[in-house]
Each structure stands twice: as structure tokens, then as C-alpha cells.
A and B are shown apart, each in its own frame.
Chain A
């Protein structure tokens, strides 16, 4: 039509807008979460030694092989590279006692991916937090190993000691047990400081509140997590702390921090709006306290999160985003 000699480029894509994207991808988010778990992992390695890395590798291997096979069976492109199965494996390992036999986390990882994620349709379709279902299934399958294979932390030489965690001791022995534990703290030491820094017996990734906070701060700075859920969980747990003989230890122990910042904030299984997230978090906090104070477990956050996962679709229906236009209340 025109005199100018201009030819069309070889391929022109047609679509409606927008034609640009923020640059953030799902894989990027997942790998950043994995990166943020590194401080806690390194700390666990430092205080508990090599077994930590072995069981972490075992758990991750279990998750990604199950993910790979699930994709093969479903004849879809492998979703292993997106980092979500890796993340589930890492988080599952974080909830295990450090001296657990090395093959068990592998089994746990496979079960977690197959029964929580794959059968529901893969990434984005699971109802429950993958790592936590893995832990729950391992609790049921290997009850002795899951509750007794603890190590006493030591920077340098690690003594393999099988003892109950502080929470378990208090759960069984009450005030008396607490007094005994406090008496065992050397002069000049503080039990709460040991808990905050991570010089105590416990699951791989949960012992150091400080390291968990470092990772969480990174995710917050990167805009990957918001604080509605973690803060309301902490508030909920704090409301239940006075029922314990040792409120400070209660707040600093167990998987509360790991659960609040890394498990409950899982996008897929948590609500979307701030209101929904606050209710979700408070529910988890209160349920954790109920399970700890009056239930059968010294810990509670794992089941509390899974219980609130069930409510997530309902919370998304009940607490909707506010429409901009006047008279536009959600119909």
C-alpha cells in the first residue's frame, strides 16, 4: 500500500493488554522463600551437626522425587524447577527432631507431596500446608522417633542425647518440671535467651527464633509475606500464654515462630484479604494454645494451622475486598 519498503517482523504476537509484567514469578517467590530459610538451617547445622543436613537432604529428595513422578504420571511439564516442592521438603525437615533416622524424612516427603499436593492437582490446588501434613503423617507413622530423637545443642561437639523437649517436660511435669529445668540453667545464663538464640533441644528449624526472624525479615522486605497472619498468630498465642507456668518460654518455644512466619503464610492455603488473614491468624494462635494447654500434645501449631487451612475457602468468601465504588458492596 505504501511506498516505503518496510516488512513486518518475522513473528508478531497478538494479545490484549497488559503487554508488560511486574517481573516477579512464582518460581522467584519460592526460591526466595527457600533462601530465607538458610539462616535457620545453617544455625541448626552449627548446633546439631551433620545429621541436620542429612535429614534435610533426605526430606527434600523425597518431596522432589514425588513431585517429579507426579508430573510424569499426569503427563505435565515438571514443576520441580519452580522450587515449591523443594520448599515443602525444606520446611518438613525443619519440623523434625535432628536425630531421626535418615530414611524417615524421605518417606515423609513422598507422603506429603502425594497426598497433599499431587492428588489435589499440584501447585495451587492443595487445601493443606504440604509440609505440615507430612509432619502429621510422620507423627502417626513414627511416633517414637518423632518425639524422642532430640539432640542437645552445642557449638562444637554435639552430644547425642535423647531427651524430651522443654515443652514436653513442662506438659508432663508442670511447675515442678519447670523448676528443675530452671535450676539446671548455669549461673549467669537465661533460659529465654537460649530459646531466643537457639541453644536448646528442638526440631531442626524451630530452635532459633532469631534465625527465623532474619529469614522472615528478608521476606517482608521483599514484599513476599505480609504481617497480618504472623502477628495475629503471636497475639493469639500470647492470649493463651498466661495459662502456662512459663509464659515467656511458651512464647519463644516450639514451632510458633516457624509456623507463624513460614507455614501459615503459605499463599495457597491462607486467606487473601487482611481481615480474613487476621481471623485466620488469631484462630491459629488460639487453637495452638488450646491444644497445648488442654490437648494431648506439648506442641500445637502444626494442627492449629491445618485446622485453619480448612477454613481458608470460607474466610475468602466471608471477608471480601472492599469495592471502590459507592454502593458496590460485595453481592
Chain B
């Protein structure tokens, strides 16, 4: 908000829009990752974007840690995160689908549970085999998108890719799980990134870390120097670039622009400008899959907000229920009005404590009335804050005005279809208008229309 669009920092960032909410990362940023294993896990079979999975086990079956218990035909698998007994396969709550088939496993850990030690010769595996490992380990984008990683890394034959971007931005407020991973498991981040670079055949890798996570950037730089990546086979030039702390820095299009200066075309993927983007936690999962044959059976997430007694960075089995995490973190503190899976900008609210952690769950937030924004909305006063805040250069104000008078199919001119729902517009609206919701409803109207005309 100034006369000219000056930047208060010389650090790289995306060219337009964005916001800088209160970070609230101090709640958990200095808390080391803790392990927590509940008695029961509840695994919705749908864990990735795309086709739905089929359960492969029935009630009373005995499973071992790492056994495949559900599978998308020809796609990623879901594995038993703990050894134990299948208590049931039935309809249950799902974080985003509302309902899904949920496999319940009662944990019965024993001495001979698989520990997934390092396998020899992992560095020299052929690329095709590495991709199979990633697919069979059920690796999906752990930053929240949950897109199957093997598909993202299986490049089309004619693709010209020269840069791998590793996303350590973690631009959502409150969340610190990627920060902790970069600090505590920097070696795995670096080796995982190297593996991905090898798979897609690039010699240049940039790790983007926001300004507010300097210690992580420092740690990664040290690790890169110690491991000597430029001497490995194949050598990879890996650099850590500190970007401005500015939401949505972690969005693919924005991050690619911040780090490489390249602009992803409208409706295109970073691939179109020679870049592949992967999240730091996904890089670790790829390493686990290839080096240890370890599937994605657990993940690190941030449990935070003023509404939970002891905020934590937790490593939990996939399928751990929200209810168990609340009990483990000492219960509520204060008047919780919203429980979110994910960050406060793009996360989903839940109403059912039986919802469980999926592969894409990066945070579990308990927001009190004072932290969140629950209010009526008012007419648009055309202040232009949303237009200034939109990283895509869209016009949420105009969309909302058209939506209010029931003209959703005239909103494409304002960029509805390019909206990726980062929430910067709603965040900055002084009239508290639900601009993102208007965008979502407008998009849904276009989808309905497209279905009709097909």
C-alpha cells in the first residue's frame, strides 16, 4: 500500500499481490518433532488427488506395518501405518470428501515389525525403478495438494526441464512442520532432492526458504556443503535461496517466479517453463521410498492455535484421529470456534473429531474467537484491497458484485478460472466479503455449464 509498488526488502519474491498475516509460528517453531502413536488409526482409502482407491483388507485381518491395505488401480497405494488388527472397513468421515471408506486398525506393535533399514545400491537404481518405488510407497505431495508424486515426476518425452525447485516456503501462518524437518532432517531433505533431480534428469536444484526461517536455510547450506552434491553421481548444483516472507510464496507459480524469474503460462504447469516443484516433506518421502523401501505411513504435522493446551510438531501415523491428537496435546485451551486441517489461509474446517490425518494434512489448528474472523459481510466499497492483494492479478471485487446479482457465468472476464483460492482477497477485504467463496461458486457454475454442453 504505497504510491509505487516498492518492496521493503531486496530478497526475491513474486511480482504481484500477496499478503503478510501475523505468523504465529512462535507457538511451535522451537519445538522438536515428537512421536505419537495412538491405539487406533482410521484410514480413509482416498488419500490422493484423482481416482478413488479400493480397500484390499477385510475386518479381522492381521496387518503388518507397511502392508498395502488399499490401492488406486494402477496408481498409488495406501499402507498399514501400524501393525495390528483390522477392526472394520466401513463408511466414515473424511477431511475433504465428507465421507469415504475408512479402514480402522487397532495397533498391536511387536518386536518383529518392519523397521525399513537402508538398502544397498539405492543410489544406482535405474530411474524407472525409482519411479516404481515412489508409486508403490504411496508418495503424494505432502505440502497439502496430495497429487501422486510418481505422476508429477514421470515427465512427458518432449519435456525440457532444467531446474528442480524444492519448496521449503511454508508460507501459511502457524505451520512449522516443514521448518522442523529442514532443521532436524536436513540430510534427508538434501538427499531426497538429489534423488528427484536425478529422476527428472536436471543438474540444477534450488531450495526456496522464506526469510523467517533463516536457521533452516543455514542448516541446509551446511548440509549441502558437507554431502558434496557436486561430486555425487550425477552431480547436482544445489542452492538455497531465501525469499521474502510473503504469502502465498509456497504456491507453485509464485515460487517459480520468485526463484527463477520465469512466468508459468496461463493454465499451465511449471513444467512449461522447465521447472518441477516438490515440497521438502515430499523429498524426504521419496528418499524413504527409494533408500529404505519405506512407504508413506506417517507424517509430521503442526498442532497449533491458541485453542490447544500444548501446541506441538507431531510425527503421527497416517489415520491418527483429531480426537486422539487433542487428548495427546492436553485438550482445549479457551473457546475453540474453528478446527482446521491445514493452515489458516487455505485449510479446511471440520466439525467431526473422528476425522483423521491424511497424507496431505500439514497442520491441525484450533482457533479461538480472537484469532479467527467470524463476522457478517458488508457491501463492496471498491477500495481495491483485494485487487492489490491478488497474486494472479484478478478482480475478486467485480466477481463478488456479479455473484451478488446472480450472474456467475459472466465472471470469467475477471479471471475466475485462474483463481487458485489462496485467500489473499478475503483476508484483506475490510468489508469481510467472502470473495474466495464467490470465486468457488462461480467456478462451480462454469463446471456445471461445461458438463451440460458436453
Decide: A17 and B265 in contact? CB cutoff 8 A. no
CB distance from B356 to the nearest CB of A (A): 10
Chain A's closest residue to B372 (CB) is A19
The answer to the question of B260 belonging to the interface, with a C-beta cut-off of 8 Å to chain A, is no
A322: chain B residues at CB < 8 Å are: 16, 393
- B-contacting 9-mer, from A48-56, A89-97, A265-273, A287-295: A265-273
The answer to the question of A275 belonging to the interface, with a C-beta cut-off of 8 Å to chain B, is no
CB distance from B327 to the nearest CB of A (A): 3
Decide: A267 and B383 in contact? CB cutoff 8 A. yes
The answer to the question of B354 belonging to the interface, with a C-beta cut-off of 8 Å to chain A, is yes
When the two chains form the complex, which single residue of B17, B324, B432 contacts A21, counting CB atoms closer than 8 Å?
B432
Decide: A327 and B423 in contact? CB cutoff 8 A. no
The distance in angstroms between the C-alpha atoms of A159 and B345, with both chains bound, is 61
- A-contacting 9-mer, from B47-55, B155-163, B223-231, B334-342: B334-342
When the two chains form the complex, which single residue of A15, A25, A124, A324 contacts B263, counting CB atoms closer than 8 Å?
A324
When the two chains form the complex, which single residue of A9, A14, A21, A323 contacts B415, counting CB atoms closer than 8 Å?
A323
The answer to the question of B430 belonging to the interface, with a C-beta cut-off of 8 Å to chain A, is yes
When the two chains form the complex, which single residue of A14, A124, A324 contacts B380, counting CB atoms closer than 8 Å?
A124
A273: chain B residues at CB < 8 Å are: 384, 387
B263: chain A residues at CB < 8 Å are: 324-326
The distance in angstroms between the C-alpha atoms of A122 and B373, with both chains bound, is 24
Decide: A12 and B351 in contact? CB cutoff 8 A. yes
The answer to the question of B42 belonging to the interface, with a C-beta cut-off of 8 Å to chain A, is yes
When A and B form their complex, what is the total count of cross-chain residue pairs whose Cβ atoms lie within 8 Å?
Answer: 209
The distance in angstroms between the C-alpha atoms of A8 and B350, with both chains bound, is 11
B222: chain A residues at CB < 8 Å are: none
The distance in angstroms between the C-alpha atoms of A1 and B90, with both chains bound, is 13
The distance in angstroms between the C-alpha atoms of A4 and B378, with both chains bound, is 42
Decide: A19 and B413 in contact? CB cutoff 8 A. no
The answer to the question of B29 belonging to the interface, with a C-beta cut-off of 8 Å to chain A, is no
Chain A's closest residue to B397 (CB) is A272
A19: chain B residues at CB < 8 Å are: 338, 340, 344-345, 347, 349, 367, 372-373
B394: chain A residues at CB < 8 Å are: 321, 323
- B-contacting 9-mer, from A35-43, A186-194, A222-230: A222-230
**B residues 199-214 in Cβ contact with A at 8 Å:** none
The answer to the question of B428 belonging to the interface, with a C-beta cut-off of 8 Å to chain A, is yes
The distance in angstroms between the C-alpha atoms of A11 and B336, with both chains bound, is 8
The answer to the question of B292 belonging to the interface, with a C-beta cut-off of 8 Å to chain A, is no
CB distance from A28 to the nearest CB of B (A): 7
Decide: B427 and A21 in contact? CB cutoff 8 A. yes
**B residues 313-364 in Cβ contact with A at 8 Å:** 321, 323-324, 326-328, 331-332, 335-340, 342-354
CB distance from A20 to the nearest CB of B (A): 5
Please report whether the interface of chain B is mostly helix, strand, loop or mixed according to DSSP. Answer: loop
A227: chain B residues at CB < 8 Å are: 3
B415: chain A residues at CB < 8 Å are: 323, 328, 330
Decide: B349 and A325 in contact? CB cutoff 8 A. no
In the complex with contacts A18-B427, A22-B19, A267-B384, A2-B253 CB distance below 8 A:
no
B contact residues, total (Cβ < 8 Å): 92
Against B, the Cβ 8 Å flags (1 = close, 0 = not) of A64-90 are 000000000000000000100000000
Decide: B430 and A28 in contact? CB cutoff 8 A. yes
A16: chain B residues at CB < 8 Å are: 348-349, 421, 436-437, 440
The answer to the question of B374 belonging to the interface, with a C-beta cut-off of 8 Å to chain A, is yes
Decide: B432 and A12 in contact? CB cutoff 8 A. no
Chain B's closest residue to A225 (CB) is B1
The answer to the question of B431 belonging to the interface, with a C-beta cut-off of 8 Å to chain A, is yes
**B residues 295-314 in Cβ contact with A at 8 Å:** 307
The distance in angstroms between the C-alpha atoms of A231 and B2, with both chains bound, is 13
When the two chains form the complex, which single residue of A20, A123, A226, A325 contacts B265, counting CB atoms closer than 8 Å?
A325
B345: chain A residues at CB < 8 Å are: 17-20
In the complex with contacts A19-B367, A228-B3, A321-B393, A272-B335 CB distance below 8 A:
no
Decide: A122 and B379 in contact? CB cutoff 8 A. yes
The answer to the question of A6 belonging to the interface, with a C-beta cut-off of 8 Å to chain B, is yes
CB distance from B143 to the nearest CB of A (A): 15
Decide: B323 and A272 in contact? CB cutoff 8 A. no
Chain A's closest residue to B24 (CB) is A20
Chain B's closest residue to A4 (CB) is B327
Against A, the Cβ 8 Å flags (1 = close, 0 = not) of B25-36 are 000000000000
Chain B's closest residue to A228 (CB) is B3
The answer to the question of A125 belonging to the interface, with a C-beta cut-off of 8 Å to chain B, is yes
Residue picked from A12, A273, A316, A327, most chain B C-beta under 10 Å: A12
A323: chain B residues at CB < 8 Å are: 266, 392-394, 415, 418
Decide: B440 and A18 in contact? CB cutoff 8 A. no
CB distance from A148 to the nearest CB of B (A): 37
Chain B's closest residue to A20 (CB) is B344
The distance in angstroms between the C-alpha atoms of A331 and B264, with both chains bound, is 18
When the two chains form the complex, which single residue of A6, A320, A326 contacts B323, counting CB atoms closer than 8 Å?
A6
B173: chain A residues at CB < 8 Å are: 20
Decide: A26 and B38 in contact? CB cutoff 8 A. no
Decide: B2 and A226 in contact? CB cutoff 8 A. yes
The answer to the question of B426 belonging to the interface, with a C-beta cut-off of 8 Å to chain A, is yes
In the complex with contacts A123-B381, A323-B418, A12-B323 CB distance below 8 A:
no
CB distance from B18 to the nearest CB of A (A): 11
Chain A's closest residue to B102 (CB) is A1
Decide: A325 and B253 in contact? CB cutoff 8 A. yes
**A residues 235-270 in Cβ contact with B at 8 Å:** 267-268, 270
Chain A's closest residue to B326 (CB) is A6
When the two chains form the complex, which single residue of A6, A223, A268, A320 contacts B382, counting CB atoms closer than 8 Å?
A268
Decide: A331 and B253 in contact? CB cutoff 8 A. no
Decide: B382 and A267 in contact? CB cutoff 8 A. yes
The answer to the question of B391 belonging to the interface, with a C-beta cut-off of 8 Å to chain A, is yes
Chain B residues in contact with chain A, CB under 8 A? 1-3, 14-17, 19, 21-22, 38-40, 42, 104, 173, 253, 257, 263-268, 307, 321, 323-324, 326-328, 331-332, 335-340, 342-354, 367, 371-374, 378-385, 387, 390-395, 397-398, 412-413, 415, 418, 421, 423-424, 426-432, 434, 436-437, 440
Q: Which 4 pairs show the lowest CB-CB distances between chains A and B?
A: A4-B327, A18-B423, A124-B379, A223-B1
Chain A residues in contact with chain B, CB under 8 A? 1-6, 8-9, 11-22, 24-26, 28-29, 82, 121-125, 223, 226-228, 231, 267-268, 270, 272-273, 316, 320-328, 330-331
- Chosen A-B contacts, 6 in total, with CB atoms closer than 8 Å, are A6-B326, A18-B424, A19-B349, A268-B382, A321-B387, A330-B413
